[in-house]
Amino acid sequence: MGRYLAQRLVYGVLTFLLIASFTFFLMDLLPGSPFQNQEKLSPEQLDILRDKYNLNDPLPQRYASYMVNLFQGDLGVSFKYDSRPVTDLIMERIGPSAQLGIQALVLGVLLGLVLGVVAALRHNTAVDYGAMFISVLGISVPSFVFASLLQYYIGVKWGVLPVAFWESPAHTILPTVSLSLGVTASIARFVRTEMLEVTGQDYVTLARAKGLDGQSITWKHMVRNALIPAITILGPMTAALITGTFVIEKIFAVPGLGELFVSSITQNDYTVIMGTTLFFSAVFILMILIVDILYGVVDPRIRLGGSE
Amino acid sequence: METILSVRDLTVAFHTYAGTVQAVRGVSFDLKKGETLAIVGESGSGKSVTSKAIMRLIPNPPGEITKGEIMFEGRDLVKLSDKEMQKVRGRDIAMIFQDPMTSLNPTMTIYKQIAEGLKRHQGLTGDDAKKRTLELLTLVGIPNPEARLKQYPHQLSGGMRQRIVIAIALACNPKVLIADEPTTALDVTIQAQILELLKDIQQKTGTAIIFITHDLGVVANMADRVAVMYAGKLIEKGTVDEIFYEPRHPYTWGLLGSMPRPSDDRSQDLPAIPGTPPNLLHPPVGDAFAPRNQYAMKIDFEKEPPFFPITDTHEAATWLLHPQAPYVEPPVAIRDLALKYRPDSTFAKSLLKGGLK
């Protein structure tokens, strides 16, 4: 197990470095420059600015110094936000994004799980069709449409919950619900398929032959086995959710990471692009590692590194 | 001997998109205390469905017990509610399945899988459950049982897993054990071990066994009585001796004739029953075996034969046993067996005389 983990960590770091390098070179191909109103600047002024951010150095040299700084935990300073360190910007924004993401994830996974299990148990009945209708709706309706509807009815018309901003727990409800819709939908579909698959397995028949009641058979014998494949999609999903979702953050005016990421691209804020990309990659790689470890917990056949 | 389980006119249908499949068409038999009854037949004859129907494990939909009764200790299992049936399953009637590689839950330890039934039916938990589990593992011949408790199915071989499945079935001392081809998925040496184990357990616990199989060698080794099944019906019932040495139904002749024997001439092809079983989506009129039966008479295609009693324990459903039927000569293999091993039986004598009449 220890050896396996070490190996995976090394691979993780290598992947991270590759992503860092690719992004760095790709970013250099971005059109435009990080400086606004460039046409009003004289070539001399521009040159001074470029010099300040080392943009006049040759690409390999900039790459080398970026990587050296990266290893020291220094992601550089933003071009736009008053030369503030990128790490500070990320740390400032990660809170709301992570909270929103985790809330949506927990809600979506629980709801999806129940919906999927119930649909499978009531296969080919109105309950099943109803659950799958919700699921298809959740997958095909973009979250911003759903978010706008929620804002309009619950926020504006009935005035039950705040429409936007990130201030109190009540403010987090609408964005959480909007964001969890897609999660619920995909988890429900996945779990339903897997549950149906498991229903026909011999060990479920054997569990029945033992005289167990429906509840024990469902939760002890079926759900656990049905969850194993569902864990696969959980890793990338978690990474995507907690690192910020631009659309939902924008609609509900949540000061999160997604918003920072998108604005940095439109403004050619090189260091912020690099910083947020790398942050996302790191979370992603970590999540996949966690999922692999979780596999071993749920499925004893995959105890890692042959620790028998 | 006392009858413990009595199946009467059991009829099971599966409703499919193509139509209703009559998988079991009126099966009746009795199971006596402590005996082993083998149900034999080829694939698709309905033996597994019969056994699952007794446990009420036929998934509904699409399956349904449309007729008949299964009397067990004065109650008709067909009429029990799901809750009542749960108390019967695993406690009074238990089942061993065909494939040990898939019949254990891969994510649960051996201990939990055995103790589940103990907890449910006998309320055993903690040390009591553990003690009983160890007893069971020892009973089914698992070496080093203590170490197995925490293991998962994938850590055991096929033979070991089948022993675990047997331990699960035996957990609550069932009065009836249904073994649905318990050795089919195992290799021959392990097969023999598992059969020995089942016999041994029957001696120790006195449980009655319904043994479902298509392997006549296993039947000869295990069974007290045999019921031969074809196209969803029983066609001949008798003691193991009667079925092997005095068979009366042409289908039983065909089955026995297609069994390889050490004395066989290797240059000859092994005899086989021509044709295929009927499609039970549209069960044939008359005797279902008639189209494959070289002895078939006109009436076989028109009217279904009833059971004709031969002895107290032996009966067969074939028109050949009707008083007006002509005498037919059974295949050579059947004749040889009867004359060699049971020369004094009425069957053997009738063979020599060319008919009983």
The predicted complex's ipTM stands at 0.85
> Residue B184 in contact with residue B98, Cβ under 8 Å?
yes
Q: Is the pLDDT of residue A214 over 90?
A: no
Q: Is the pLDDT of residue A306 over 50?
A: no
Based on its alpha-carbon atoms, the radius of gyration of chain A, rounded to whole angstroms, reads 24
| Lowest-pLDDT choice from A29-33, A144-148, A154-158, B294-298 | A29-33
> For residue B224, which amino acid is it?
D
Judged on CB neighbours under 10 Å (0-12, 13-18, 19+), B126 is exposed
Tokens 């295609």 -> residue = B301
A interface mutation test: which of B58, B103, B109, B110 has the most A CBs within 10 A?
B103
Q: How far apart are CA A134 and CA A33, in angstroms?
A: 45
pLDDT of amino acid B356 = 54
What is the nearest CA distance from A307 to chain B, expressed in angstroms?
12
Task: Note whether A299 contacts B106, CB cutoff 8 Å.
Answer: yes
The alpha-helical segments, DSSP class H, found in chain A are 2-28, 43-52, 59-71, 86-121, 126-140, 143-150, 169-199, 202-209, 214-216, 224-242, 246-251, 257-266, 270-298
* Residue-level pLDDT at B133: 92
Q: Kindly identify which residue of chain B lies nearest to residue A205, measuring between CA atoms.
A: B57
Rounded to an integer, the average pLDDT of A54-65 is 86
Round to whole Å and give the CA distance between A52 and A138: 49
Please, are residues A181 and A228 in contact by the beta-carbon 8 Å criterion?
A: no
- The nearest CA of chain B is from the CA of A204 a distance in Å of 8
Query: Looking at the partner chain, which of A210, A228, A300 has a beta carbon nearest the beta carbon of B116?
Result: A210
Spatial CA neighbour of B251 closest among B193, B305, B311, B174: B305
pLDDT of residue A244: 66
- Cβ–Cβ gap A301/B117 under 8 Å: no
Choose the closest CB to B116 out of A212, A228, A308: A212
Does the distance separating the beta carbons of A211 and B90 come in below 8 Å?
yes
What residues in A contact B54, CB-CB < 8 Å? none
- The helix (run of H) or strand (run of E) holding residue B138 is helix B126-139
CB atoms B152 and A300 under 8 Å: yes
Q: Which pLDDT does position B355 carry in this prediction? A: 62
pLDDT at A105: 92
Residues 6+ apart with CB under 8 A from A182: A108, A138, A139, A143
Cα–Cα distance between A135 and A228 in angstroms, integer? Answer: 20
| H/E element, B219 | helix B216-222
B81, B98, B99, B105, best to mutate vs chain A, most A CBs in 10 Å = B105
Q: What is the pTM of this model?
A: 0.79
- Write out the H or E segment, with its range, that includes residue B336: helix B332-341
Could you tell me the pLDDT band of residue A130, with boundaries at 50, 70 and 90?
very high
CB contact under 8 Å between B89 and A210, yes or no, is yes
- Cβ pair B102:A225 closer than 8 A: no
pLDDT tens digit sequence for A90-109: 888 888 888 999 999 999 99
Please tell me which residue of chain B has the smallest CA distance to A225.
Answer: B107
A55: tokens are 């943009």
B48, B104, B107, B136, best to mutate vs chain A, most A CBs in 10 Å = B107
Contact status, residue A283 vs residue A239, Cβ threshold 8 Å: yes
**Residue among A202, A220, A308 whose CB faces B103 most closely:** A202
Q: What is the model's pLDDT at position A304? A: 54
Residues of chain B found within 8 Å of residue A205, distances taken between Cβ atoms:
57, 97, 103
Distance CA(A12)–CA(A39), nearest Å, equals 43
Residue B11, H or E segment: strand B3-16
Residue A56's pLDDT is 81
Q: How many CB pairs under 8 A join A and B?
A: 79
In percent, the amount of chain A with pLDDT more than 70 equals 97
Percent of chain A with pLDDT over 90: 22
Residue B292: closest CA among B267, B258, B241: B258
Check residue A308 and give its pLDDT. 40
Which of chain B's residues have a Cβ under 8 Å away from the Cβ of A221? 105, 108
The whole-angstrom distance between A122's CA and the closest CA on chain B is 11
Distance from C-alpha of B332 to C-alpha of B322, rounded to nearest angstrom: 22
B121, A211: Cβ pair inside 8 Å?
yes
Q: Which residue has the tokens 């008919």?
A: B355
**Residue among B38, B1, B29, B34 at smallest CA distance from B221:** B38
- Closest-CA residue to B185 (of B211, B156, B162): B162
Interface contact B154-A300, CB threshold 8 A = yes
pLDDT in tens, A22-33: 999 988 887 777
Best probe of the B interface among A121, A123, A128, A203, by most B CBs < 10 A, is A203
Query: Who wins on pLDDT, A301 or B30?
Result: B30
CA distance B350 to chain A (A): 46
pLDDT of residue B134: 92
Examine the pLDDT at A307 and tell me if it is beyond 60. no
Contact indicator for B235, B286 with CB cutoff of 8 Å: no
At residue A129, does pLDDT exceed 90? yes
Q: Do B168 and A210 touch (CB under 8 A)?
A: yes
Average pLDDT over residues A199-228: 89
Surface of B (96-115) touching A: CB under 8 A: 97-99, 102-108
Q: What is the pLDDT of residue B307?
A: 93
Instruction: Find out whether B318 and B250 touch, Cβ atoms under 8 Å.
Output: yes
Contacts of A164 (CB under 8 A, 6+ apart): A151, A155, A171, A251, A252, A253
Instruction: List, edge to edge, every strand of the sheet that includes B208-213.
Output: B93-96, B176-180, B208-213, B36-40, B225-230, B233-239, B315-316, B308-309
Per-residue pLDDT of chain B in tens (357 residues, 90 and over written 9):
789 999 999 999 999 898 899 999 999 999 999 999 999 988 889 999 999 999 999 987 788 999 999 999 889 999 989 899 999 998 999 999 988 889 999 989 999 999 998 888 888 888 888 999 998 898 888 889 899 999 999 999 888 898 899 999 988 889 999 999 888 888 888 888 888 888 988 998 889 999 999 888 889 988 999 999 999 999 999 999 999 999 999 999 999 988 887 777 778 888 888 888 888 888 888 888 988 988 888 888 988 999 999 999 999 999 999 888 888 888 888 888 888 888 888 888 888 877 654
Whole-angstrom distance, CA of residue A10 vs CA of residue A68: 18
Could you count the other beta carbons within 10 Å of the beta carbon of residue B98?
21
> At residue A35, does pLDDT exceed 80?
no
Q: Please, which pLDDT band fits residue A76 given cuts at 50, 70 and 90?
A: confident
Query: Phi and psi for A291 in degrees, rounded to 5?
Result: -60, -40
- Partner-chain contact B88 A206, CB within 8 Å: no
| Model confidence at A73: pLDDT above 90 | no
Helix axes A224-242, A86-121, angle to 10 degrees: 150
Residue B170 forms contact with A (CB below 8 Å)? no
